[in-house]
A and B are shown apart, each in its own frame.
Chain A
């Protein structure tokens, strides 16, 4: 018998250990990869928070924008707010999904702290959120001019994530749209 075959189990054991250890430290397991990436926005027809009108997924096509899921009940969303205001003031478009919120509280919060949103989609019962696979707000989607989801970020969109990941992708999609 060849001597080295004796060491096979040890070898596999070490490989397994390495894999498990890597898995443990590699990525944040609280973040699920969205299965909706590169799929069009789900169908919906919902009221706009700020105006007396309905909006559908088709009306939202034609431009690149961030779709930010938030609620006035959500502390992390409030923490994220100033960053969104900065992003909007740099000329990027943000549409809000006011998720499982009361319109009064939402409008109150926006008038109090400034709105970074072009407008907000009222998702009072969370049905649109469900179709978008939302499981913890805030969540931010990047939508291209065809209405296709190109990126999703779960949690606070901080400066690092914005500058390193989302902003370059946003600008790339805008370039794409101009062609």
Chain B
């Protein structure tokens, strides 16, 4: 068997495993009144981060707490007709900013939002200064009158 065949076989296995993994993620089946609610549910599942698992959304995680939060999101959507921001607020009050992948923009997170831009600007500024300071003029350009006088002074008038 060629290497490529083996590799593609291996990739298939990985793809299958990934698929199996995803299939495990959300086992419960929820009922919804409308397609919009179902879409909202899956949207919120992606936006909200599982508080226990560090870097999985509540839709991806099998942790009991993620399960609880999914149930709660479902309840908020179907029973209380909550909007996206209602659901986010509900979670923020209990779990803080961590529960969102995208931190809100405020005084505490300003550095997070604008820091990279700031660093980029500094880099561009320095680059600009470096390029401007490089002397592209002819190296054997003739000295002007003032330069010649200065040179003469340094040499102590020996040339004149």
Which residue of A has the minimal Cβ distance to B119? Answer: A12
Q: How far is the CA of A62 from the CA of B128 in the complex (A)?
A: 66
B152 at the A interface (CB under 8 A): no
Contacting residues of chain B (30-51) with chain A, CB-CB under 8 angstroms: 51
Chain A, residues 127-138, CB within 8 Å of chain B (1/0): the string is 001111111100
Q: Is the CB of A30 within 8 A of B54?
A: yes
Q: How far is the CA of A132 from the CA of B98 in the complex (A)?
A: 15
How extensive is the interface on chain A, given as a class? 20 to 34
Q: Is the CB of B94 within 8 A of A1?
A: no
Q: Is the CB of B126 within 8 A of A9?
A: yes
Q: Inter-chain contact count A-B, CB under 8 Å? A: 50
Nearest CB on B from A16, distance (A): 8
A135 contacts which chain B residues (CB < 8 A)? 51-52, 65, 95
Q: Could you list 26 examples of A-B contacts with CB < 8 Å?
A: A1-B129, A1-B130, A1-B132, A5-B129, A6-B126, A9-B122, A9-B123, A9-B126, A16-B119, A29-B54, A30-B54, A32-B96, A32-B98, A33-B96, A34-B96, A35-B92, A35-B95, A36-B94, A126-B68, A130-B68, A130-B69, A130-B94, A133-B51, A133-B94, A133-B95, A136-B65
Seen from chain B, the residues whose Cβ lies within 8 Å of a Cβ on chain A are 51-52, 54, 64-65, 68-69, 72, 92-96, 98, 119, 122-123, 126, 129-130, 132-133
